[in-house]
Amino acid sequence: MSKPTIDYLWQDRRRRLGMPLSFTRYALSEDRLFLETGLLSTRSEEILLYRVRDISLKISLFQRIFGVGTIVIQSSDKSMPTLELKNIKRPRNVKEIIHSAVEEMKIARRMRVGEIMGGYDDHDHDHDDYDDYDDDYHY
């Protein structure tokens, strides 16, 4: 049985002096952000994109010299509330790629919830008082 393949929108490694000389790998798919560390013993983590709450960018003078930067992802993920994509190439472009993927996933997820719930999301509406909609019906 073959292992399912993931189509990545972006991949990179943590860089040292601008070179990908690290065993820390980052990847972005249409619905998840991945972190894998280690050489002999590896550890993998992932964050579902709809759980991303904030994306920020840090570029120190040293990083600017080598053309890299750090993207900081804040999420509502319990196992990894903060993920730093350290010393990656073209950090501004990558931040925009991640931002677009997060927004697309949040929109797609709301659509699915709306379809399941009959066209609206129960969390967005207050259903305790229907008197405002029609005076003849009181629930």
**Using one digit for the tens of pLDDT, what is the confidence trace for 63-113?**
999 999 999 999 999 989 999 999 999 999 999 999 999 999 999 888 555
Residue 122 is predicted with a pLDDT of: 46
Banded pLDDT at 54 (limits 50, 70, 90): very high
- DSSP state letter for 24: E
Determine phi and psi for 64, rounding to 5 degrees.
-60, -40
Contact, 108 vs 90, CB < 8 A?
no
Q: Which tokens sit at 27?
A: 């990847």
What type of residue is 11?
Answer: Q
Q: Which tokens sit at 1?
A: 């049985």
Chain-centroid distance of CA 28 in Å reads: 8
Contact, 14 vs 88, CB < 8 A?
yes
Which is nearest to 46 in space by CA: 36, 33, 55? 33
List pLDDT tens digits, range 8-36. Answer: 999 999 998 888 888 999 999 999 999 99
The reply to whether the predicted model has a pTM over 0.85 is no
